[in-house]
Structure 1
Amino acid sequence: MEFQLKYITEDIKLSCYEDRLFKTEVVFDHHMLVWFISGETKIIQADQNYLFKAGDIFLIPRNQLATIINYPKDGLPHKSVVMHLSIDRLRGFYAHLNIKPKVSATQRIRSFDKHPLLESCLASLIPYFDLQEKFPEDIASLKITEAISILRTIDKDIDTLLANFEEPHKIELASFMEKNFMFNMPLEKFGYLTGRSLTTFKRDFQGIYNTTPQRWLTQKRLELAHYQLAEKKKKPTEVYLETGFENLSHFSYAFKKQFGLTPTELANRTTSR
């Protein structure tokens, strides 16, 4: 297994992964502008799934729960250029602009296909990853400013996302958890995204569900896994990746303890009907 990250600044990196797949469940602190050089990525969110391939360019909003599965493809590693659009950087960009964006209830992933302006901007970074010298901060700042300017040119609604600097506010807990339980996040993250401290999150959760978050999350994930195996006819290797389990062996152990048979046994029983 070989996973490599090369940073030319703290906000610009080249990632390369050569193993069978790499899965992570994340909430990004910054907006992430991604350009795929090779490989394939599946992104799973509560209300939509995405599949991105070589050449695709997309923007992942900050503070959004997602499961990201990266695959090598056609004998080539999963390789991408990633640019962080941090809140501090965006505040500086928008400081001289008189913009009051409308706040959107949901911030979706935005795909820009293989847009030539964005592709040219991000491809121009490639030579810098092999330089031994420190990448000049003024050039990095210019490249990020260029990317933001291009985004605003090709997506007239992008200010709704980029110029919104608000942090998560306190929201209704049950509806959020019912929508996002499949993401294997620390409880602190669930608390933050619902506008609560960890202590308040646990207290409110206990008051709603009369059980601990850990027990409830495990039960909900197992129920979803059973549904995907029995009704959607998915493979166990697909299901564990999409239902918040750390690995296949942990998933199989918890599933058999709950249902009396392994995911593979249930899948085989379902397909033999």
Structure 2
Amino acid sequence: MDFQTNYITPDIKLACYSDKPFKAEALFDDHMLIWIIAGGAKIIQADEMYAFQAGDIFLIPRNQLSSVIIYPKDGQPHKSVAMHLPERRLRKFYEGITPAAPTVVSHKIRYFEQHPLLKSCFASLIPYFEVEEKFPENIASLKIQEAISILRVIDPGIDGILANFDEPGKIDLPGFMEKNYMFNMPMQKFSYLTGRSLSTFNRDFKKHYHVTPQRWLTQKRLELAHYQIREKRRKPVEVYLEVGFEDLSHFSLAFKKQFGYPPTNLVNHSARS
């Protein structure tokens, strides 16, 4: 796997990847502003799937479960610049600023297409990745402030995300799990996002579902894969990453154990239909 990441500061990085599609489950502690330079990316969240290509710029809000799949495209390796917008920088930015009046806040990904102001901000970073000199912290702060300022100009609702420093509160556990079971995250992350300690999460989960979280998650992911292959006529190689498995062979073994036949049987059945 040819995956290279070059940091000019802990908050600004350039990623290059030239192998087969690579998937990672993510729960970002910071908002992430990303510019795809080349290649492609697919991001799957509870309610939606997003596909991005070269030139696209988007913001992933913090504390949102996501499956991130990156891949080469059109003969070009995946290449992207990511800028963290951490709480410490946002609090400093909003000192003395009155955020816009709050509206209904959506935590879905914000898509900015190829907005020229954001593109210019990102493009100005590229030379810093090509020199060995240390990137000065004051310039990093200015670049991140520039990005935040641009976001506030082009997206009137962005303050509802960037100026919101609340931590997740206790929420309905079954409702959350039914929407997010396809994300292959540690149980500690699931418990955090539902506003519970790990022990309380496990206790509440078993009280409602009468099985362990891991057993329930595996079953739900396999049921989703079965539906995608049989009803949507997709191939196992197309769905195993999206439903929460990391390895195709492990997925096939688990599928056969659950349903009594391998997923290829469904593919052959669909082909005959």
Q: TM-score range by the shorter chain?
A: over 0.9
Aligned residue number for residue 32 of structure 2:
32
Q: Is 1:252–1:262's contact at 8 Å kept on the other side of the alignment?
A: yes
Q: Is 2:100–2:156's contact at 8 Å kept on the other side of the alignment?
A: no
Q: Shift of the alpha carbon at 1:46?
A: 1.2
Aligned residue number for residue 50 of structure 1:
50
- Residue deviations 1:188-235, cap 9 Å, x none? 000000001111100110111111000100111111111111111111
Cα distance in structure 1, aligned partners of 2:160 and 2:106: 11
- Residue deviations 1:24-56, cap 9 Å, x none? 111111000001110011111111111100000
Q: Shift of the alpha carbon at 1:98?
A: 2.1
Aligned sequence identity (%) = 66
Cα distance in structure 2, aligned partners of 1:101 and 1:140: 29
- Residue deviations 1:100-136, cap 9 Å, x none? 7537454010111110000000000000011111100
Query: For the aligned residues, what is the CA RMSD?
Result: 1.1
Q: Is 1:101–1:164's contact at 8 Å kept on the other side of the alignment?
A: no
Q: Give the match's secondary structure for 1:211.
A: coil
Q: Which runs of 5+ in 2 are unaligned?
A: none
Cα distance in structure 1, aligned partners of 2:205 and 2:103: 27
Q: Shift of the alpha carbon at 1:142?
A: 0.2
TM-score by length of 1: 0.98
Aligned residue number for residue 72 of structure 1:
72
TM-score by length of 2: 0.98
The one-letter amino acid paired with 1:201 is: F
Q: Give the match's secondary structure for 2:170.
A: coil
Aligned residue number for residue 125 of structure 2:
125
Residue range with higher mean Cα deviation, 102-111 or 63-72: 102-111
Aligned residue number for residue 81 of structure 2:
81
Aligned residue number for residue 266 of structure 2:
266
For residues 160 and 84 of structure 1, do their structure 2 counterparts lie closer, same or farther at Cα, with a shift above 3 Å needed? same
Aligned residue number for residue 193 of structure 2:
193
For residues 104 and 154 of structure 1, do their structure 2 counterparts lie closer, same or farther at Cα, with a shift above 3 Å needed? same
Cα distance in structure 1, aligned partners of 2:188 and 2:38: 34
The one-letter amino acid paired with 1:237 is: V
Cα distance in structure 2, aligned partners of 1:82 and 1:160: 21
Q: Is 2:40–2:71's contact at 8 Å kept on the other side of the alignment?
A: yes
Q: Is 1:248 equivalent to 2:257 in the alignment?
A: no
Tell me the number of residue pairs that the alignment of Structure 1 and Structure 2 aligns.
273
Cα distance in structure 2, aligned partners of 1:102 and 1:229: 42
Q: Shift of the alpha carbon at 1:241?
A: 1.2
Q: Is 1:116 equivalent to 2:143 in the alignment?
A: no
Q: Is 1:39–1:78's contact at 8 Å kept on the other side of the alignment?
A: yes
